[in-house]
Structure 1
């Protein structure tokens, strides 16, 4: 069976990044048939007024400028839609996700495309996919009261319809690096193909 992976790396560090190195291990273990890789730290802009105006314009009324403003967003959404698994590797920066990862989600969270509003609240439209979150931190424990990254990532994945979310933790690296890496090794070993 073809398994397509979308890999998103959010660490600003390319050399020496624990989250990127662990994501490499996940990719190697699960042996996807196709991997699309996007370095979020390198190429994801923040939303601006042009983007917001274009997104708020009905599709049939969008001119060339509006279409150009949404072109990257359309590409990012197509990448998620075509993937079976979304692998997000991220550090925890100051208790949350890097701004590049937030910017990526802002680009893909579009009403009527990746989610919709219903009488019962929002409903994700990207069903049947899996997300693997590789989370590294120096001092923040994953899912502790001061971790605003991991719960947020689970929530936004659920918001767009991805309900199968697994976490690989390498937290509190500056407290006990060996124990932190062992947690990650155990979590990777528990991942099913």
Structure 2
């Protein structure tokens, strides 16, 4: 069974196509999860809406508590970290992250950046080992396969690699960097562009994003080729 963590970060409360001024990224993340759960209703889904219920910004007290060894934390420090612990625990349970994150002013919304700040935790999602020399950081979420899909929307266009505005895309690289740092290195990106243009260009971009989501879900859920299944059965028989 696969455990999905479905997270929305848009400040808009509704989904595009269903609500006036609804969010494009909420529509994308909903489409992904709905298609997945139709095919695999047994899979678990945890939902977190940081757009409408943003995590608190980090404080000096939070930093002090996070870098205090767990056994030495005071009750007040444990209280300060309680929300962060809940976010980390959700993340640790997940096998697949479905992240609906719009681009705001070339980067992630503040609420999503706060979520990233809360889930990068020494001793929980990464560790620091001075004995490793120039590479002291240890990603703790590399303990099993985990993947993420970043579903975004952009007012302009050309923000993908090789595009005219790629150097101004500070959303996708930031998400890939942070998730890679803690051990989630397989991150797939699908984005809607031309939101500010509207009209036919936006409609084509929405349709393309929907098609890419459907293809990605179908590819991930496709049965293994027969040769791979046979190899797995042979391996299991030899191990029996």
| TM-score higher than 0.5 | yes
**Considering only aligned residues, what root-mean-square deviation do their CA atoms show, in Å?**
1.4
User: Larger Rg: 1 or 2?
Assistant: 2
Partner of 1:149: 171
Partner of 1:64: 75
Contact 1:95 1:140 in 2 (8 A): no
Alignment of 1:1-193 (within 5 A): 2-15=1-14, 16-31=22-37, 33-41=43-51, 42-118=53-129, 119=132, 120-127=135-142, 128-143=145-160, 144-175=166-197, 176-191=201-216, 192-193=220-221
1:43, 1:94 → 2: CA distance? Answer: 18
Q: Secondary structure at the match of 2:124?
A: coil
TM-score by structure 2 length?
Answer: 0.76
1:141, 1:27 → 2: CA distance? Answer: 27
Contact 2:66 2:122 in 1 (8 A): no
TM-superposed CA distance for 1:179, in Å, is: 2.3
Whichever structure has more helix as a proportion of its residues is 2
Q: Secondary structure at the match of 1:126?
A: helix
Could you tell me which runs of 5 or more consecutive residues in structure 1 were left unpaired when the two chains were aligned. none
- In the TM superposition, structure 1's runs of 4+ consecutive aligned residues that sit over 6 Å from their partners are none
Q: Deviations over 1:87-141 (max 9, x none)?
A: 1101100000000011001111011210123422423211211101101111153
2:185, 2:23 → 1: CA distance? Answer: 27
Q: Deviations over 1:12-40 (max 9, x none)?
A: 00120000011110001212521111110
Of 112-121 and 28-37, more deviation after overlay is shown by: 112-121
Aligned residue pairs, count? 192
Whichever structure has more strand as a proportion of its residues is 1
Q: Secondary structure at the match of 1:145?
A: helix
Greater relative CO (CA pairs within 8 A, separation 6+): 1
1:157, 1:179 → 2: CA distance? Answer: 30
Contact 2:102 2:153 in 1 (8 A): yes
TM-superposed CA distance for 1:156, in Å, is: 1.0
TM-score by structure 1 length?
Answer: 0.94
